Structures are given as C-alpha cells and as structure tokens.
C-alpha cells in the first residue's frame, strides 16, 4: 500500500535571490539564481518522501529537457511518478523572485500541468484506491482533482486539498465538500468567507467557519505565525517556532506533505499538525523549493534542539 498519492503539478523553478525589490521599469542584478524542482504537487510529494513516506505522484510533464530533468529529480527523491502521456505543451515553469527578508513573488507558466485530465486519473484509479492519503492542489484542472477525490473517498482514502493558487471566484460549496481537509492560507480563507484572519485565534475561528462551506475539516496557515485548525473534534492553534528565515517558497508545500505523512503514519490530528509546522519552519531556513524540505532525521534533530516547551499548542 502506498502511504501518499499526490495528484498535482510538476514545474521546473528558476529562482532569483534579490538584495532589494526593483521598482517598476528598474533592472536589478540578482545575488544568485538557482534551477530546481518545483510545482506544488512535486514539492508536496518530495516533502512526504523525505519524511519516509512511500509516495506515488500522478502528473504531467512535457517532452522537453525540462521534463526529463524534473523526472530525474523526482526519482532521486524516491517519488514514483506516473506521468501523463507526453504532450506538445512545455513542462510547467515557475519564475520566482526572493527578496531580502525571504518573501517571494512567483509567476507561473502552467504548461503540461493543464493537460492532466480526469481520464488520466481513471487510468490510475487503483493506485489512488490503495493509498492512505490523497494530496491535491489547484495547479491542475479542478475537474481532475475532483475526480481523484471522488475515487479516494469511495475507498476511504482521506483527501487533503491545498487551494492554492487561490481560484477567483473561489469554489462553491459543491466543490469544497469533495475534500476531507482544506489547508488555505489567510488570503485564501478570506476569499472563501470574506474575513481576513490576522491572529492565531482568528485562524482557528476561520477554520471552524470554513467547515460550514463543505469540507469536513480545515487548517488555516498563517506563515510565520503558525496555524489554526478545526478537524472533527480536534480544534486549536499552534505558534510556529522562530527561525532564521531565508526563503519561504517551500513552506506551505512542506507543511502539506508533512501533514499527509504523519496522518498516514497514524498520528493524531494535533500531533500531525505540530510536526508539520516544525517541518515547514525548518524548510524556510534553506533556499529552494522541493530541495529545502527536511528529512525525518533532520526534523527530529530540529525538534530536539527547540525543546518540547516550544511544541505546546492550544487544543480543545
């Protein structure tokens, strides 16, 4: 049995690190530029695999050299990719600028990701049915994610949806109720129900209110602040540990991949969230996307260094 199946995007990331943000019409020289594996689906798949999950990914890449590079990087990360047939479209690309404080601006070229279809999902229904967790995001057509979720829930596979990039207008209740857990950030939660959470208490309340829109549970991520959640009878908030952040590109994807891993391993909701927050925080101390996600040993060492008192969360 596969622990985690990911249906999602595969990109090659071109990341430039800037000493300052340019003004409109201004040219600035990057401190450094990196090429690496990206796409929310691939990032989450690698994050789960590096934490010792068995991971299968269903995604689309082009027949160009970037596609081969992405495939090679996934293989080295121990992610088994079931690729959709090669398309005339180019492999997806992300052009990322990272500012001096670690914040980022991302421009996406969807490419082959938008060719991943419900028919590809049907061809791999048995793979999804044998998983413990299905991870989906909003960088492939929503019809494809919905078909994967339908198959998963028919076989008691828990479905986690990361609704990013945020659809505008946001999805209806009919779409949201297809997922067991959604993991929006503050901006995405705002688009769903009209209020922007700014504190961890507000994030928890937002997660509780989001359940009225269809999903069985919600986790609202608040970047460096932490998270608030409401899933089943578990609800609470947890502050993120303070770390020397250099790059936040991978944080949300690392959180989702780690969450899926620990839930697949049988952890209770609050414990899985706690460990996922740690993994995401550690990822921000490194450059890059998929390659920034920690291994299981690194995460254990990080938690030991911080001490159990920092792990305390607010739970009811």
Show which residues are catalytic: 253
Q: Give DSSP secondary structure letters for 192-254.
A: HHS----SHHHHHHHHHHHGGGS-SEEEEE-GGGEEEEEETTEEEEEEPPP---S--TTHHHH
CA proximity to 3, closest of 293, 265, 303: 265
How many CB atoms are located within 10 Å of the residue 297 CB?
Answer: 11
112 by Cβ neighbours in 10 Å (0-12 / 13-18 / 19+) ranks as: buried
Per-residue CA distances from 223 to 14, 130, 179, 255 (Å): 22, 33, 22, 10
At 56 the three-state DSSP class reads strand
Token pair for 82: 């079931």
What whole-number distance in Å separates Cα of residue 127 and Cα of residue 189? 31
């Amino acid at each position: 049995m596969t622990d985690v199946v990911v249906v999602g995007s595969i990109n090659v990331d071109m990341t430039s690190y800037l000493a300052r943000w340019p003004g409109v019409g201004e040219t600035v020289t990057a401190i450094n530029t990196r090429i690496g594996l990206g796409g929310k689906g691939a990032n989450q798949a690698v994050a789960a695999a590096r934490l010792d999950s068995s991971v299968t990914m269903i995604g689309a890449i082009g027949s160009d050299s970037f596609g081969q590079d992405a495939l090679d990087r996934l293989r080295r990360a121990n992610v088994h990719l079931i690729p959709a047939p090669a398309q005339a479209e180019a492999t997806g690309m992300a052009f990322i600028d990272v500012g001096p404080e670690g914040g980022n601006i991302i421009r996406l070229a969807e490419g082959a990701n938008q060719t991943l279809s419900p028919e590809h999902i049907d061809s791999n229904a048995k793979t999804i049915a044998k998983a413990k967790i299905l991870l989906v995001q909003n960088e492939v057509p929503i019809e494809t994610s919905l078909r994967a979720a339908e198959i998963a829930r028919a076989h008691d596979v828990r479905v986690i949806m990361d609704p990013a990039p945020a659809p505008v207008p946001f999805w209806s209740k009919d779409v949201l109720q297809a997922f067991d857990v959604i993991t929006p950030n503050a901006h995405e939660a705002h688009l769903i129900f009209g209020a922007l959470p700014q504190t961890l208490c507000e994030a928890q309340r937002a997660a509780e209110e989001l359940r009225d829109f269809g999903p069985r549970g919600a986790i609202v991520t608040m970047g460096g602040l932490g998270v608030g959640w409401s899933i089943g009878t578990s609800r609470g908030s947890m502050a993120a540990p303070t770390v020397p952040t250099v790059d936040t590109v991978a944080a949300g994807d690392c959180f989702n991949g780690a969450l899926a891993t620990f839930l697949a391993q049988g952890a209770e909701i609050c414990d899985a969230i706690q460990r996922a927050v740690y993994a995401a925080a550690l990822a921000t101390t490194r450059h890059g996307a998929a390659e920034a996600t920690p291994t299981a040993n690194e995460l254990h060492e990080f938690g030991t260094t911080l001490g159990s008192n920092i792990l305390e969360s607010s739970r009811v």
